[in-house]
C-alpha cells in the first residue's frame, strides 16, 4: 500500500484517487503524523434497480395494449 505525504496527495489528488481504485486503499500522512486512509466506496445499488417513468397511462391501459398486441399475432 502506498503512503503519500499530505502535500504530494494535495498536488496529485486524481493520481491518489486512481491508485485507491486500483489497489483498494491509499494512506495519506499529515505533517503532524496523523494517517488517513482513502478507499473507494462500495456500490450497494443493484444494476437492476432502475427508476420508473410516468407514461401518463394506467396499468389497465398497459395490460389492454398487451392483450391487443397478442391477439394480432
pLDDT at 71 over 70: yes
* 15 within a domain of the structure (yes/no): yes
Query: What's 3's domain CATH number?
Result: 3.40.1620.10
User: Residue holding cell 499530505?
Assistant: 6
**Digit-coded pLDDT (tens) for 12-30:** 999 999 999 999 999 999 9
Domain count, the chain: 1
**Digit-coded pLDDT (tens) for 35-48:** 999 999 988 888 88
pTM: 0.57
* pLDDT score recorded for residue 31: 92
DSSP string, 20-34: HHHHS-EEEE-TTS-
* 20 within a domain of the structure (yes/no): yes
Domain that holds residue 16: 1-41
For residues 38 and 4, the answer to whether their CB atoms sit within 8 Å is: no
* 53 within a domain of the structure (yes/no): no
* pLDDT score recorded for residue 5: 94
Amino acid at each position: 500500500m502506498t503512503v503519500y505525504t499530505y502535500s504530494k496527495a494535495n498536488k496529485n489528488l486524481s493520481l491518489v484517487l486512481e491508485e485507491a481504485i486500483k489497489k483498494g486503499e491509499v494512506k495519506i500522512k499529515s505533517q503532524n503524523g496523523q494517517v488517513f486512509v482513502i478507499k473507494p466506496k462500495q456500490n450497494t445499488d443493484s444494476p437492476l434497480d432502475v427508476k420508473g417513468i410516468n407514461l401518463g397511462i394506467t396499468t389497465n391501459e398497459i395490460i389492454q395494449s398487451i392483450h391487443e398486441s397478442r391477439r394480432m399475432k
